[in-house]
Structures are given as structure tokens and as C-alpha cells.
Amino acid sequence: MIAVSIPLPRRLLAEFLGTALLVAVVVGSGIAAETLSPGDVGLQLLENSTATVFGLTVLILWFGPVSGAHFNPVVSVADWFLGRRRGAGLSLQEVGAYAVAQVAGGIAGAVLANVMFEVDQGLSAKDRVTDGHLVAEVVATAGLVALIFALVRTGRGALAAPTVGAYIGAAYWFTSSTSFANPAVTIGRVFTDTFAGIAPGSAPAFVAMQVVGLLLGIALTLALYPDAGARADDVVVPHPH
């Protein structure tokens, strides 16, 4: 059977909704954790990370067959860059459209979480920039990109949902930044002054380090799987494109 390409508007809707719900999961579970476990930051992080693992896994399974479930401009850029010489993956114009949908979704998800938990709308005051946090964002983002393309190149894209969810859940704990690893999610989390928020002044540095992580992740992918770009159409999970 020949797969029929899914129109771009449907894919953009999937990316918007998926990113919005991902940020709603991250922010909403953070608010719930603060309420349910006041004074215990470790338990709050455990609750927040557990909800994110399950939520991200579900969202990849839900929207992946439509758009690939990137939910992350870094992943979309890597998809274009690695696939461009093989005629695979997103076009540069599609990358731009995906990024706009993802960032808009990230902001909408934070606003939605604020509404659901009756939190005042406003920008975060949580300054997160330290040298360790910035290094952590490079590590988390590079690992995410390299993991996704390793799965795709070896024909295991169907395992992306639980594997990517598990990686992000683990990175909550092994990185000091709690693994944002996503410019759209970072920008979205600026719009909530809660447990998961990030101050507007911290976000640009986080995004810059995520771009560095993107470049490192691409370099690792090419070193391990030089022909990974041939399977770029299957990122993050196989979908008609």
C-alpha cells in the first residue's frame, strides 16, 4: 500500500495540539505537585517527571501518525538538515511552519494549565540560568536528537513513544536543568509563574544552549549513522509524508 501524504494544515494542527498538551502536562502536573506536596521539592519533581513521561508517551502515540510528533523545533530542524540531501524529511518551509505551530502551542498549553488550576496569568519569575543548567541543556538536547535518529535509522521508530518518554523522564533527574531540551516548551513555560516556569530573562540562554545541543546531536548522529538522513521521513515516528 502506498502511503498518502498528509496535508500540511493537518500536520500543523497536530503539532500545535501536541505541543500545547505537552506543556499543559508539564505545567499542570507541576502546579499539582506544589499543591499536593508542599515543602518537598524532591517529591514535587518526582510527580512532575512521572506525569511528563506518561503524558509525552501518550501524545506521541496520539499525534505521531499525523505529523511525526516532533513537538520541538530542534527535532524539526534536525529532520530537515539530515534529510535534505536524500530528499527526505521536512522542507525548510515546513520547518518554519512546524516551529510556529509548536511555539504557539507551547504558549497556549501554559495558559491552559493556568486556567485549569486557577492560577493568575503572568510571566514566570523563576531565574534558572547557571553554568550547570546551560551545560545540562546542551547534554539533554544532544541526547534527545541522537536518540530519535538512532531509533529511526535502525527501524525502531515504533518504539519512539516509550523510549523518548523514558529519556525525558530520566533527564529530569540526571540534568541540573530538569531537561527542557525544547525551545517551544521553554518559551511556553515563560508564561506561567509556577513550579515549571522559567523567567523571560533565562529563556534565551536556554534556547541558545538547545541550539548548541542540536548541532552536537546532529554530529553524533552522523558519526554513528552516516546515512540516517535517508529515514528522515519517519521522525519521530513513521507517518505518511
The predicted structure's pLDDT at residue 199: 98
Tell me if 230 sits within 8 A of 88, measured CB to CB: yes
- And the C-alpha cell for 240? 505518511
Omega before 66 within 30 of 0, i.e. cis: no
Domains, the chain, in order of start with CATH, read 8-229 (1.20.1080.10)
Residue type for position 87: G
Residue type for position 164: V
Residue that is written with C-alpha cell 552516516 in the block: 226
Question: Tens digit of pLDDT per residue, the chain (241 long)?
Answer: 334 689 999 999 999 999 999 999 999 999 999 999 999 999 999 999 999 999 999 999 999 999 999 999 999 999 999 998 888 889 999 999 999 999 999 999 999 999 999 999 999 999 999 999 999 999 999 999 999 999 999 999 889 999 999 999 999 999 999 999 999 999 999 999 999 999 999 999 999 999 999 999 999 999 999 998 888 888 887 676 6
Tell me the torsion sign for CA atoms 22, 23, 28, 33: positive
Cite the DSSP H helix spans in 154-197. 160-174, 183-189
